Amino acid sequence: MAAGKGILEDRDGLLVLHLKGTSYERGFQHGSLLAEQIFESFSKEMTKYSLIYGEGNAEAGMKLLSDSTQLMKQYVPPELRREIQGIADGAASQGKDITFEDILLVNCVSNVLLFPHGLADPAATTMNEPFSDNCSAFAAWGRATADGKLIYGKNTDFGVMTLPDFPVVMINELQTGYASICPSFPGAVAVASGMNEAGIAVGSNFSGSKNATMRGTPAFFLVRAILDKAASIDDALTILSTFPRQRGMNFIVADGKAKDAVIVEVTGTELAVRRGQKDTIYATNHFNCYPGWQGYSGYNMVPGQATAYKLNDISTIERWQESIKQADPSSFVRYQRLKDLLEENHGKIDVAEAIGIMSDRFDVVADQLLGWDNYGYAICQLGAQITIAPSVTYYRSDQVGTITDQHITWSSEIGDPEELLIWIAIGNRPAQRGKYILFDLKKEILGGHNVNHRVTQPLM
């Protein structure tokens, strides 16, 4: 049914999904080509999430997840709803029991889980949130880099069960809008980060605040909107300002053409923009828009976060910093480590140095370099694997197995958005344990598929 061509390639064990056409056509290609992977990851991951959200009662948890997702449904852009429908229809065409609501849930579940009270008060405009995931991001340009070009890095961290087994890089060519490339997973329309053909790179880090509501556009859909529509930092700011937002986030937006980047801190009701210093900028999982801190002057984003993070004292910069250190040591030490590494490498940051920064395994608290199998506070994250259920029947399946969760750096990317080059690591525990694979978006969107790569399933 697709008017364009969807191609699934195997590049060094990494699935590369190239989609082209209308929203529905790209979705149908996606669902058809990854039907097996979509169903398996959906079945197992939703079992995990339902047990977590239902506090051990999978049926109750699944109802809460589904009902919560319905609150978000109307805030998903229409073109992305059409893409979701295409994925469901494409998977169904391959005999898989997957519906629109299933794929919507896949794309909304990470946001649902950040509202611990579920639907206790679905009309609420403020909710306290748990601590956030351990993502990290930076950009450097001008005097900070070896050649003056902008280089950015983004680590996406969260709890996973099966996703490292199905690493996907998605290349999306739209009929109207900008082509983009991003690390992804089977069934994903909403994404955490990526780069588009206009030279814009964007990434998202969860950052809790009391000012949150389920009645808004989930954060990863905002990232996707920026990839599809933004050709400048101002375009991205317009999108983040006009879409109804849900919750606390740090967005990094980098423009390779302008050689500039910003951190946009948002909640459901607030927005502030932080500019770089010494041609660098960086973010982890707490707000830094505090007047007087690192040259910032503007709206103070910290009070709303203080409630959610239970910060003891934010009356001065020193007391606020100490409170963050005590309340969320992981975010605090990763922020400090990014600062130190960017300062140490100032003037010589290139792709190799950026990979080293995003792969850094030094634990500042323990004052030691972590091995690949050690746990601790580091930019490159590896947490212990935990067992949620030793034996359970997977959701909508007759398979029985163990349900686990492990907090890791699930994907890592380094980008040169001016040249449309991106290096992606994904598919290991953590992602950086494997290699970074280079993609040239210019060649990808010009049809420059490497004919030596094995094309597993063409779909016309």
pLDDT of residue 130: 46
Burial (0-12, 13-18, 19+ Cβ within 10 Å), 28: buried
Q: How many CB atoms neighbour CB 371 within 10 A? A: 10
CB burial string 404-435: b at 16+ within 10 A, e below: bbbbbbbbbbbbbbbebbbbbbbbbbbbbbbe
pLDDT in tens, 103-149: 999 999 988 877 754 444 444 444 444 445 689 999 999 999 999 99
Give the per-residue pLDDT at 238: 98
Identify the pLDDT of residue 112: 81
pLDDT tens-digit profile, the chain (460 residues):
333 589 999 998 899 999 999 999 999 999 999 999 999 999 999 999 999 888 899 999 999 899 889 989 999 999 999 999 999 999 999 999 999 999 999 999 988 877 754 444 444 444 444 445 689 999 999 999 999 999 999 999 989 999 899 999 999 999 999 999 999 999 999 999 999 999 999 999 999 888 888 889 999 999 999 999 999 999 999 999 999 999 899 999 999 999 999 999 999 999 999 999 999 999 999 999 999 999 999 999 999 999 889 999 999 999 999 999 999 999 999 999 999 999 999 999 999 999 999 999 999 889 999 999 999 999 999 999 999 999 999 999 999 999 999 999 999 999 999 999 999 999 999 999 999 999 999 999 976 433 233 233 333 2
Task: Give pLDDT, residue 4.
Answer: 53
Closest CA to 250 of 225, 215, 275, 287: 287
| Domains, in order of start, for the chain | 136-375+409-447 (3.60.60.10)
**How many angstroms separate the CA atoms of 432 and 2, rounded?**
35
In this structure, the strands spanning 168-174 and 14-21 are parallel
pTM of the model as a whole: 0.94
Can you tell me the distance from the alpha carbon of 439 to that of 393, in angstroms, rounded to the nearest whole number?
Answer: 39
Element spanning 272, H or E: strand 271-275
Sign (positive or negative) of CA dihedral 218, 101, 75, 179: positive
For position 31, what pLDDT does the model report? 97
Distance CA 405, CA 15 (A): 23
Residue 69: per-residue pLDDT: 92
Place of tokens 């979705």: 27
What angle, rounded to 10 degrees, do the helices at 219-229 and 233-242 form?
140
